[in-house]
């Protein structure tokens, strides 16, 4: 890896798995599932399928750098034969964005084959990797998912079945992981003991699904069965579903940022609709940070429902100020500061007609480095807005995330060493208000079982002693 590139190893991924008990091919449904999860990762993707009644170790895999519709086509999908399989979409920062790190990982070992797709970050992957390497293991990739796959394969040699092997591996790994695994004749879904990253189960006729988000189940016409619970291992076989929840932690640590920014608004996690939680955030902002204004606008996409909530609560009309180029992915895809700056303008344009001469309330989901807000405020003012009042539907970002959301290190977080007043000046706004951290739980119906470490510095699991991001580049 190139040391000169952004020295982070963030992972924001989507996983999808399917087992058709009637023996039909699953590749095309997995493709559509990944397509619905594309917002979770745009750098690489892959699908691995096999036949449950076919020869062991006969896995058909297609992986590549790029979007789902760039990597897959009718030809390569048509050749993928198999009734069980898993898929993955991946976003990482530049350093780790190489073809070898694409998933699913397919591992051949003495008991057969494991195809594994992982969303999340481990906090002890380096130490585990070192231990395994000292014991003779050879790794092909630099992602911690391979450590998980290796541990499961090794445990499987002693365990009676793959679920037990997964459970033994879970006792060794720490951090965030939602996994979908196709072992030759079982589809396994796993959520870490705190449930940092989401995972849910779906069903369509005689086929079962596992997906990062329920919107992917809708896309393939599957009905939502339930969420996989934190700490749960589900095994889907031809005889039904088994579940083991014995490794669940006493407290949950579901990522609140999934609701604020990351997930699609039409997804449901643990009974809460993401769209509704964004509306609630907007309502709270209107209660806590009211302002006299003529129009409320959202920064697409996740700012829009929050802006609607603000408008409903305040009575100020909701409007559309930004036109988004739908063919551009998320701004963070370009990891370098200079390219991120210009990509704001590539992605968004202002409807001059709507904002000219107006006092505008502009809602975005977060301020990380401050680049985006500064750009957008300037765009609104250049288009004739009289005042721009920025409201942010999350608390200030103060700490990095070690659990699968790409939040940069503290020295790059504008809120870490600037007051709200200073940030307001730096982004050129007339006023600035953040969501109060005390009210975060209202986004998920008052449930306190979530991780807000990026805002509070208190993580449900100890963060790694040293910042692991970038370690693999040494
Ligand atoms: P910045 O320009 O660094 O302040 O970034 C803020 C913008 O990035 C906001 O508009 C967010 O929607 C978006 N954003 C926040 N967190 C992330 C993330 N982890 N990955 C990608 N985009 C993000």
The domains of the chain are located at 13-250, 269-456
In the CATH scheme, what architecture does the domain 269-456 have? 3-Layer(aba) Sandwich (3.40)
**Is the CB of 365 within 6 Å of ligand 1?**
yes
What pTM did the predictor assign?
0.92
pLDDT digits (tens, 9 = 90+) for 145-154: 999 999 999 9
Q: Is 265 helix (H, G, I), strand (E, B) or coil?
A: coil
- The atom number, within ligand 1, closest to the CA of 340 reads 2
For residue 208, pLDDT over 80 is answered with yes
- For atom 5 of ligand 1, which residue has the closest CA? 368
pLDDT for res 433: 98
Using a 6 Å cutoff on CB, does residue 393 contact ligand 1?
A: no
Query: Would you tell me how many other CB atoms lie within 10 Å of the CB of residue 384?
Result: 14
Instruction: Classify the C-alpha dihedral 268-90-454-338 as positive or negative.
Output: negative
CA of 170 to the centre of ligand 1 (A): 31
Tell me the CA distances in angstroms from 251 to 403, 448, 449, one per residue in order.
16, 9, 6
**Residue 1: predicted pLDDT:** 27
Cα separations (Å) of 324 from 328, 349, 399?
A: 8, 7, 30
- Do residues 359 and 387 lie in contact, with contact meaning Cβ atoms separated by under 8 Å? yes
- Measured in Å, residue 136 CA sits from the centre of ligand 1 at 41
Looking at ligand 1, which atom is closest to the CA of residue 368? 4
Over residues 46-72, the mean pLDDT reads 93
pLDDT at 10: 53
456 Cα–ligand 1 center, Å = 18
pLDDT-wise least confident of 127-131, 233-237, 312-316:
127-131
Residue 75: how many other CB atoms lie within 10 Å: 7
CB-ligand 1 contact for 11 (6 Å cutoff): no
Instruction: Please state, for a pLDDT cut of 70, what percent of the chain lies above it.
Output: 91
Find out whether the beta carbon of 370 lies less than 6 Å from any atom of ligand 1.
yes
DSSP-assigned letter for residue 472:
G
Best substitution site from 261, 306, 338, 409 to test ligand 1's pocket, by max atoms within 8 Å of Cβ? 261
pLDDT of 468 > 60? The answer is no
Question: How many angstroms does the Cα of residue 373 sit away from the middle of ligand 1?
Answer: 9
Read off the pLDDT of residues 161-199 as tens digits, 9 standing for 90 and up.
999 999 999 999 999 999 999 998 999 999 999 999 999
Give nearest CA residue, ligand 1 atom 13. Answer: 366
403 pocket-lining for ligand 1 (C-beta < 6 Å): no
Q: Is 255 a catalytic residue?
A: no
* Ligand 1: nearest atom to the Cα of 407: 19
Alpha-carbon distance of 325 to 424, in angstroms, equals 27
- In 254-313 the beta strands, taken as DSSP E runs, fall at 254-255, 268-269, 272-273, 295-298
Could you tell me the fold of the domain covering 13-250?
Answer: 3.60.20
User: What mean pLDDT is reported for the chain?
Assistant: 91
Distance of alpha carbon 440 from alpha carbon 256, whole angstroms? 8
Percent of the chain topping pLDDT 90? 80
Determine whether the shortest distance from the Cβ of 405 to ligand 1 is under 6 A. yes
Q: Which of 90, 74, 67, 65 is nearest to 27 (CA)?
A: 74
């Amino acid at each position: 890896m190139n040391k000169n590139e952004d020295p982070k190893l963030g992972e924001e991924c989507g996983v999808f798995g399917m087992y058709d008990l009637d023996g039909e091919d699953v590749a095309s449904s997995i493709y559509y599932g990944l397509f619905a999860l594309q917002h979770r990762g745009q750098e690489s993707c892959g699908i691995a399928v096999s036949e449950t009644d076919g020869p062991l170790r006969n896995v058909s895999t297609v992986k590549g750098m790029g979007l789902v519709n760039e990597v897959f086509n009718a030809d390569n999908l048509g050749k993928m034969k198999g009734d069980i399989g898993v898929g993955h979409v991946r976003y990482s920062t530049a350093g780790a964005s190489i073809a070898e790190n694409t998933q699913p990982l397919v591992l051949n070992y003495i008991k057969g084959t494991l195809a594994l797709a992982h969303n999340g970050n481990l906090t002890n992957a380096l130490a585990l990797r070192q231990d395994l390497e000292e014991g003779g293991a050879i790794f092909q990739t630099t992602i911690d998912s391979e450590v998980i796959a290796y541990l499961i394969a090794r445990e499987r040699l002693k365990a009676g079945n793959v679920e037990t092997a997964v459970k033994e591996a879970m006792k060794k790994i720490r951090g965030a992981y939602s996994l979908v695994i196709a072992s030759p004749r079982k589809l396994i879904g796993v959520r870490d003991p705190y449930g940092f990253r989401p995972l849910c189960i779906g069903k369509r006729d005689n086929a079962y699904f596992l997906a990062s988000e329920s919107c992917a189940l809708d896309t393939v016409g599957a009905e939502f069965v339930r969420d996989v619970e934190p700490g749960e291992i589900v095994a889907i076989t031809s005889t039904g579903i088994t579940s083991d929840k014995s490794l669940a932690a006493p407290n949950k640590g579901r990522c609140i940022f999934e609701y604020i920014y990351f997930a699609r608004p039409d997804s449901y996690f643990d009974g809460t609709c993401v769209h509704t939680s964004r509306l609630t955030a907007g309502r709270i902002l209107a209660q806590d940070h009211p302002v006299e204004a003529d129009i409320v606008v959202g920064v697409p996409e996740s700012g829009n429902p929050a802006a609607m909530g603000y408008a409903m609560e305040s009575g100020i009309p909701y409007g559309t100020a930004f036109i988004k180029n739908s063919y551009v992915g998320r701004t963070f895809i370009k990891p370098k500061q200079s390219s991120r700056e210009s990509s704001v303008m590539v992605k968004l344009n202002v409807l001059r007609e709507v904002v000219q001469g107006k006092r505008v309330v502009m809602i975005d989901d977060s301020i990380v480095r401050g680049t985006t807000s500064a750009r957008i405020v300037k765009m609104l003012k250049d288009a004739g807005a009289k005042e721009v009042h920025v409201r942010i539907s999350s608390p200030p970002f103060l700490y990095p995330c070690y659990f699968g959301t790409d939040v940069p290190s503290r020295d790059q977080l504008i809120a870490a060493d600037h007051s709200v007043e200073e940030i307001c000046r730096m982004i050129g706004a007339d006023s600035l208000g953040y969501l109060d951290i005390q009210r975060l739980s209202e986004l998920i119906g008052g449930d306190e079982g979530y991780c807000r470490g990026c805002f509070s510095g208190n993580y449900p699991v100890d963060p790694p002693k040293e910042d692991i991001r970038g370690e693999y580049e040494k």
